[in-house]
Amino acid sequence: MYPPSFKLLVPQSLDEALKMLAEHGGEAKLLAGGHSLIPLMKLRLARPAYVIYLGKLKELSYIREEGDTIRVGALTTHSEIESSELLRERCPLLAETASKIGDRQVRNMGTIGGSIAHADPAADYPAALVALEAEVVLKSVNGERAVKVSDFIKGPYITDIDPQELITEIRIPVVNGAVGSSYEKLVFRASDFAIVGVAALIVLGKDGTAERVRVGMTGVAEGPVRAQGVEEELEGKKITEEDIDKASKKASEGLNPPSDIRASSEYRKAMAEALTRRALIKALSEAKKKA
Amino acid sequence: MPERRYLGKRIKRREDLRLLTGRGLFVDDLSLPGTVYAAFLRSSYAHARIKSIDTTRAEKISGVIGVFTGEYFKDKVQPLMTAWALTGADLKPIKWPVVVHDKARFIGDIVAVAVAEDPYTAYDALEAIEVEYEPLPVVTDMEEAVKPGAPVIHDEAPNNVAFTWRLTGGEDFDSIAAKADHVMRQRLVNHRLIPSAMETRGALAHYNASTGELTVWVTSQNPHVHRLIMSASLGIPEHKLRVIAPDVGGGFGSKIPVYPGELIVSRLAMDLGRPVKWMETRKENFMGTHHGRDHITDFEVAYTRKGEVLGLRVRTLANLGAYLSTAAPGVPTILYGTMLSGPYKIKSVDVEVKGVLTNTTPVDAYRGAGRPEATYLLERVMDLVARELGMDPADVRRVNLVEKAPYNAVTGLIYDSGRYREVFEEALKRAEYSKWREIQSKARKEGRLIGIGISSYIEMCGLAPSRIARATGFGLGLWESAVVRIHPSGKVTVYTGSHPHGQGEETTFAQIVAEELGVPIEDVEIVHGDTAQTPFGMGTYGSRTTPVGGGAIALAARRVKEKARRIAASLLEARVDDVEYSEGKFYVRGHPEKQVTIQEVALASYTADKLPEGEEPGLEATVFYDPENFTFPYGTHVCVVEIDKETFKPKILRYVAVDDIGVVVNPLIAEGQVHGGVIQGLAQALYEYAVFDEAGNLLTAGFNDYMIPTAIDTPNVESYFVETPSPHNPLGVKGVGETGTIASTAAVVNAVLDALSHLGIKHADMPLTPYKIWEILKEKGVKA
Ligand SMILES: Cc1cc2nc3c(=O)[nH]c(=O)nc-3n(C[C@H](O)[C@H](O)[C@H](O)COP(=O)(O)OP(=O)(O)OC[C@H]3O[C@@H](n4cnc5c(N)ncnc54)[C@H](O)[C@@H]3O)c2cc1C
């Protein structure tokens, strides 16, 4: 597990990092928590000529609520997200999702920007972020742009990022009112990537009808997907458990999840349904408490 | 009996302070001035002829010292051969070249070696070596390998069968089957596991051309055995070869064998005149260090309508991989076939094992080695018989358990001591077996899936005596040695031929010596792992260290004490018979004021002016101890599981282990061994499995894919001991290193299958992952 040689660059500011990217772009890799990149380098599957270490850019580590948006800096670690009072209060789905990533060591090192940039098809955040309709903010020397997470992740380990760009933050629209959410993750062994992960969000109106239902899934496709059939089935209803039982069956509609040495595609489909049901039941009971 | 100060006490492991604070000294911590680093190019194919190797590009890389191929090593290092040449089994002389020159037989085979000033450059060099292969057909499946027309892996074994071993004991199976009410057949797969010790394997070799001495630091469970085999293979006389196994980070059997790696770096150290070091990467460890288990068994069991199991006919294929590793042939035969009566009064055992060669990583001893396989089979038999007869699985065991020891099993073993039935009942009581049966039947009505599994086992351990080991074709004896040396100041150093590497014997051995000599435990130091310091010993495996190594130490301590008593008598001007010893002091019986301390005696033994007539100076003893028989720990484990009805994930609700390991030297450490062992065994039941694809690539070559359970996944293990001393060694101990692993796989599988039994599921092969359980139910058409 010895990587080929590379040159390490340590920018002291975001601007400096962007300049380095502009110069070395295609030959460089950004290093955040290192928990995805370093294993790949040790296996010689990633062979960057330059590694740009982002650890000094404290300016990219924050969690803030501004207007109707929650902004999470790209270098914020999973454990900071998990334990953030603000998120637990205003966006518990993201905090809960972070708490279910890997183990404590992974959460202490790994960052949300790194996770989104890496785009592992079984990563946890993407399920929550598509349910939350979040955006990724990208910056380069040429300027800044924001892309929906659902558009940003194109496939397994493939994203819509330019070699000169860096992820600076994740923007999540604040959801107010009687909101309930839950992230359900199935692993065969603690601290593994998800076999299937399902994030559910329900917003109830004053009369108890579901104004908004969002279901994001990971592990079942090339990237995160929304279970739109489930959402449509439930929105506008005064949801009962029976409704959830019925709607969850649609979670696997149109899916063709991967098969591997752990589990078959069919099992993953069955689990997408089972976890959708669980996540929705929890989300509903949370939302009802706030109604 | 005087009150014990140390034996039986919960004393914390003295090795932990250094290990937990990072002050241990492992092979990878070592480096000598001028050390160079070796990296191994492993085969790209599981079976391929090597047509040519071009090393020129690699050799030109700056920092590369040399690249060496099979041609280089062919005549310099003798190929490895197994040290357990089973007698009467038509064992084929399979040779394992340290670097292959004609063809590669599995993906871990070493094709070339790069040596460089640093490991990074060595790995760069590997990428620049150009090998032209001619791929050959691959066979990884044992059943395919023994079919006519299968690819031949070794010319010496044209049908890929390395040996055929047979044992028949007791009545003839056919005649007993004719008398039985029922005969049942079943096929069982005991799948392949990867030992995955925390520390990978590696070696550092240093050669002194002036003295002709080679020193090798290596990750070994048995440095003396390593030296013997390496000496033969390298052609270096034993007295010029020193093998040191410093702290070793776990082995589970995988550090018993001698592998190509340590031989390669040794030879290169001699040729290059510089110390050469190699440390496996984790991926290499998965591919190249041996694997465990991997049996396919078809059995027939004859039983009565009362549940009495009369006889077993067992036909097992054991996958040995591409070569015969050091102890490999003995594991699925001697350590498995002879155990097939278990703790039960079985009247007929007829077992045949074929050792099969395939294009996979070699398979050898893995914690429990053969005995978990036997226990798994027997405990599935008990549950299957119960199912067929509609009996409670506990009752079937009650019908069959051995009543008392010593017991002569039909397989030829004599069980030493035990209260098999009492321990069984105690385990059931502690686990609240009947209560759980009630909970289970209620839960079933609510559609919940709760299961209870029992596993009763007996194991042959304390691997010894030599007479039996030799009769089975084992290359060496199986005794153990010890030197107990009291220094002039009265402090004690103990040199043992065993080599504990995580089991805690630096503590338990010190307890034994402190107890025997009546000195403070702090005054006792245990030295092990260095062939230049310790007497020849067989090493640490097979739960033998405390019964055999500890036995040798106890005897040496007693011998030293006798000498000290004679010297004390001379100092006290008393008759030896009148001198008593207690808590570090010799005194004259009836005159406690006339006393000398052991420290005073020690000094006197070295000043040597007041020794009794004919007594040699010094105060030490060397003992080579060869026990008269094995020891036989046994016990019953009970496991309760609940399977989630939506995800099919099994959760262990309760795990109770009651074990009789003889005298318990240190309950804290013994419980730790049970905990670790149980978890390693349940890992096979629920989590771990090694997978090769058809081309012979290992798909589970890392911790990502090979599922070792974590602390979070594992249950609270409730461990209890019952002590029936073994009459076969001076301490009455039996061994505890493997009990957990031997028992738990079956306990957990039985529990999971019991949870599904009302759904028409009789048997399913491990590992019972959530996916597997889902699939079993789906195949049965069961909607749980
Ligand atoms: C044992 C283990 C278990 C794990 N379990 C899980 C799990 O259960 N669920 C889960 O979701 N993940 C899991 N992970 C992955 C973990 O969450 C990673 O930390 C995360 O995917 C990557 O974050 P990082 O900060 O470590 O990124 P790095 O490894 O530093 O980088 C990953 C990639 O992202 C790029 N990158 C990093 N930061 C930026 C940025 N700001 N802008 C643009 N590109 C960037 C890098 O160049 C690299 O290509 C696990 C990892 C390990 C080692």
* Distance (Å) from the alpha carbon of A73 to chain B's nearest alpha carbon: 28
User: What is the per-residue pLDDT across A66-90, written as a single tens digit (0 to 9) for each?
Assistant: 999 999 999 999 999 999 999 999 9
Alpha helices, H only, B128-259: 142-145, 173-179, 223-234
Instruction: Point out the domain boundary residue: B607, B625, B643.
Output: B625
DSSP B594-630: EEEEHHHHHHHHHH-SSPPTTPPSS-EEEEEE--SS-
**Dist CA A275 CA A220 (whole Å):** 12
Nearest to A240 by CA among A210, A200, A207, A212: A210
Q: Quick one: B515 and B569 in the same domain?
A: yes
How many Å lie between the alpha carbon of B701 and the closest alpha carbon of chain A?
Answer: 12
Pocket, ligand 1, Cβ cutoff 6 A: A 29-37, 74, 101-102, 106, 109-111, 113-115, 117-118, 120, 123-124, 166-167, 191, 193
- H/E element holding B266? helix B260-272
Nearest CA to ligand 1 atom 36: A114
| H or E stretch covering A90 | helix A85-90
Structure tokens at A144: 């800044």
CA distance B393 to B382: 7
Query: How many other CB atoms are found less than 10 A from the CB of residue B11?
Result: 20
For residues B635 and B784, membership in a common domain is answered with: yes
Does one domain contain both B487 and B589? yes
Q: Does pLDDT of A114 surpass 90?
A: yes
Q: Distance between CA atoms of B635 and B638, rounded to whole angstroms?
A: 10
Task: Say how many Å lie between the CA of residue A112 and the centre of ligand 1.
Answer: 7
Pairing mode, strands A158-159 and A153-155: antiparallel
Contacts of B512 (CB under 8 A, 6+ apart): B6, B7, B550, B553, B554, B557, B665, B731
**Residue at B506 is within a domain:** yes
- The angle formed by the CA atoms of residues B223, B225 and B231, to the nearest 5 degrees, is 100
Indicate whether B289 belongs to any domain. Answer: no
B531 with B422, same domain: the answer is: no
* Span from the CA of A52 to the centroid of ligand 1 (angstroms): 15
Among the partner-chain residues A5, A186, A278, the one whose CB lies closest to the CB of B120 is A5
A43–chain B nearest CA distance, Å: 9
Whether the CB-CB separation of A123 and A115 falls below 8 Å is answered with yes
Confidence of residue B2 (pLDDT cuts 50, 70, 90): low
What was the pLDDT predicted at B636? 98
Is residue B646 within 8 angstroms of chain A, CB to CB? yes
CATH topology of domain A7-53: 3.30.43
Q: How many domains in chain B? A: 2
Task: Round to whole Å and give the CA distance between A17 and A57.
Answer: 9
Q: Under a CB-based contact definition with an 8 Å cutoff, are residues B526 and B510 in contact? A: yes
State which residues form the domain around B553.
Answer: 479-625
The residues facing A197 across adjacent strands are A185, A218
| Interface probe, candidates B126, B278, B647, B691, chain A, greatest A C-beta count within 10 A | B647
Tokens of B286: 């998965």
**Residue B712 within a domain:** yes
In this prediction, residue B619 carries a pLDDT of 97
pLDDT number for residue A1: 80
pLDDT score at B464:
62
Q: Which of B595, B625, B655 is the last residue of a domain?
A: B625
CA distance B580 to B116: 64
**A277 to B646: CB separation less than 8 angstroms, yes or no:** yes
Q: Are residues B489 and B616 in the same domain?
A: yes
Among the ranges given (A238-252, B250-264, B538-552), the one the predictor scored with the smallest mean pLDDT = B538-552
Task: Report residue B783's pLDDT band, with 50, 70 and 90 as the boundaries.
Answer: low
**CATH number of the domain that residue B765 is part of:** 3.30.365.10
Q: What is the pLDDT of residue B782?
A: 79
Contact between B205 and B271 under an 8 Å Cβ cutoff? The reply is: no
pLDDT digits (tens, 9 = 90+) for B322-347: 999 999 999 999 999 999 999 999 99
Subunit contact B120:A1, Cβ cutoff 8 A? no
Q: Which tokens go with A76?
A: 């914020």
The DSSP secondary structure of A162-222, one letter per residue, reads -TT-EEEEEEEE---SEEEEEEEEE-SSTTPPPSEEEEEEEEE-TTS-EEEEEEEEESSSS
Q: Which residue has the tokens 């040597």?
A: B608
Q: How far apart are CA B474 and CA B644, in angstroms?
A: 47
Dist. CA A211–CA B340, nearest whole Å: 66
> How many angstroms is it from B488 CA to the middle of ligand 1?
60
The answer on B659 and B547 residing in a single domain is no
**Do B645 and B781 belong together in one domain?**
yes
Let me know the angle formed at the C-alpha of B225 by B219 and B227, rounded to the nearest 5 degrees: 75
Residue B769 and residue A262: Cβ atoms within 8 Å?
yes
In contact, A128 and A218? CB cutoff 8 Å: no
Residue at B180 is within a domain: no
Give the C-alpha separation, B336 to B370, whole Å: 4
Mean of pLDDT values over A201-214: 96
CA-to-CA separations, B244 to A61, A70, B14, B25, B27, in angstroms, rounded: 49, 59, 21, 12, 9
Interchain contact, A186 vs B770, CB within 8 Å:
yes
Cα B194 from Cα B196, distance rounded (Å):
6
**Which among B608, B625, B642 is the end of a domain?**
B625
How many A from CA of A115 to the centre of ligand 1?
4
**B709 in contact with A, Cβ within 8 Å:** yes
CA distance B661 to B672: 13
Closest atom of ligand 1 relative to the A60 alpha carbon: 41
Burial of A226 (0-12, 13-18, 19+ CB in 10 A): middle
Q: Which residues pair with B38 in a beta bridge?
A: B115
CB within 8 Å of B601: residues ≥ 6 apart: B564, B567, B568, B571, B586, B619
pLDDT at A204: 97
Q: Ligand 1 center to residue A118 CA distance, Å? A: 6
Distance linking the first and last C-alpha atoms of chain B: 59
* Contact between B48 and B104 (Cβ < 8 Å): yes
End-to-end CA distance of chain A: 54
Q: What's the rounded Cα separation, in Å, for the pair A94 and A65?
A: 14
All residues at 6 or more sequence positions from A16 whose CB lies less than 8 Å from its CB, including other chains:
none
**φ, ψ of residue A115 in degrees (nearest 5):** -65, -45
Residue B557 lies in a domain: yes
Query: The tokens of B443 are what?
Result: 């839960």
For residue range B471-516, list pLDDT tens digits in order.
787 877 788 999 999 999 999 999 999 999 989 999 999 999 999 9
CATH number, span A59-173: 3.30.465.10
Interface size, chain A vs chain B, as Cβ–Cβ contacts under 8 Å:
64
Atom index in ligand 1 nearest the CA of residue A167 equals 42
Q: How remote is the CA of residue A110 from the centroid of ligand 1, in Å?
A: 5
Return the residue of B nearest to A272 by Cα: B647
pTM exceeding 0.90: yes
Determine what percent of chain B is predicted with pLDDT higher than 70: 99
Backbone phi, psi, residue B299, to 5°: -130, 160
SS3 string, B631-677, reads ECCEEEEEEEEEECCCCCCEEEEEEEEEEECECCCCHHHHHHHHHHH
Are A139 and A168 spatial neighbours (Cβ–Cβ below 8 Å)? yes
Q: Do B734 and B678 fall into the same domain?
A: yes
Based on the fold, state whether residues B682 and B568 are members of the same structural domain.
no
Q: Which atom of ligand 1 is nearest to the CA of A113?
A: 41
Among B156, B565, B653, which residue's Cα sits nearest to residue B355? B156
Residues B651, B606 within the same domain = no
In a domain, B134, yes or no: no
Q: At residue A231, does pLDDT exceed 80?
A: yes
Question: B662-721, pLDDT tens digit by residue?
Answer: 999 999 999 999 999 999 999 999 999 999 999 999 999 999 999 999 999 999 999 999
What's phi and psi for B699, nearest 5 deg?
Answer: -85, -15
CA B191 to chain CA centroid, Å, is: 17
Contacts of B28 in chain A (CB under 8 A): none
CB proximity B703 to A under 8 Å: no
Atom of ligand 1 at shortest range from CA of A36: 29
Is residue B633 within 8 A of residue B735, CB to CB? The reply is yes
**How far does A173 lie from chain B, in Å, by closest CA?**
32
What is chain B's mean pLDDT, rounded? 96
Q: Which long-range contacts (CB under 8 A, 24 or more apart) does A147-155 make?
A: A149/A116, A149/A224, A150/A224, A150/A226, A152/A116, A153/A116, A153/A119, A153/A126, A153/A223, A153/A224, A154/A119, A154/A223, A155/A119, A155/A121, A155/A222, A155/A223
**Are residues B652 and B640 in contact, defined by beta-carbon separation less than 8 angstroms?**
yes
Contact A274 B691 (CB under 8 A): no
Q: Specify the pLDDT at position B780.
A: 86
ipTM for the assembly: 0.95
- Is B172 among the domain residues? no
**Chain A: closest CA distance from residue B602 (Å):** 52
Q: Which chain A residues contact residue B713 at CB under 8 A?
A: 189-190
CA A195 – CA A272 distance, rounded (Å): 9
Over residues B580-618, the pLDDT tens digits come to 998 889 999 999 899 999 999 999 999 999 999 999 999
- Put simply, the answer to whether A262 touches B700 (Cβ < 8 Å) is no
Separation CA A12–CA A20 (nearest Å): 11
Structure confidence by residue, pLDDT tens digits, B689-699 = 999 999 999 99
The DSSP string of B310-339 is EEEEEEEEEEEETS--TTGGGTTTHHHHTT
Query: Quick one: pLDDT band at residue B1, thresholds 50, 70, 90?
Result: very low
Residues of A in contact with B707 (CB under 8 A): 188-189, 192
Please give the full DSSP string across B218-242, using - where no structure is assigned. E--S-HHHHHHHHHHHHT--GGGEE
Q: And the tokens for B548?
A: 């055999």
Q: Please, is B153 exposed, middle or buried when counting C-beta atoms within 10 Å of its C-beta (0-12, 13-18, 19+)? A: buried
Query: Which tokens go with B28?
Result: 């990878």
Question: Which chain A residues touch B if contact means CB-CB below 8 Å?
Answer: 1-5, 43-44, 103, 186, 188-192, 195, 261-264, 267, 270-271, 274-275, 277-278
Q: How many CA atoms lie within 13 A of A93 on its CB side?
A: 37
- The per-residue DSSP string of B738-775 comes to THHHHHHHHHHHHHHHHHTGGGT----PSP--HHHHHH
| pLDDT score recorded for residue B721 | 98
Residues B560 and B430 placed together within one structural domain of the fold: no
Give the pairing type, strands A63-66 and A50-53: unpaired
- Has residue B380 been placed in a domain? no
Q: Which positions ≥6 away from B720 have C-beta within 8 Å?
A: B426, B427, B430, B656, B657, B658, B659
For domain A178-290, the CATH class is alpha beta
**Rounded percentage of chain B residues whose pLDDT exceeds 90:** 93
- Convert B448-462 to b/e letters by CB count within 10 Å (16 or more is b): bbbbbbbbbbbbbbb
Q: Measure the CA–CA gap between B743 and B735, rounded to whole angstroms.
A: 14
Question: Could you say which of B39, B122, B774 has the minimum Cβ distance to residue A267?
Answer: B774
Answer yes or no: do B652 and B767 share one domain: yes
CB A212 within 8 A of CB A200: no
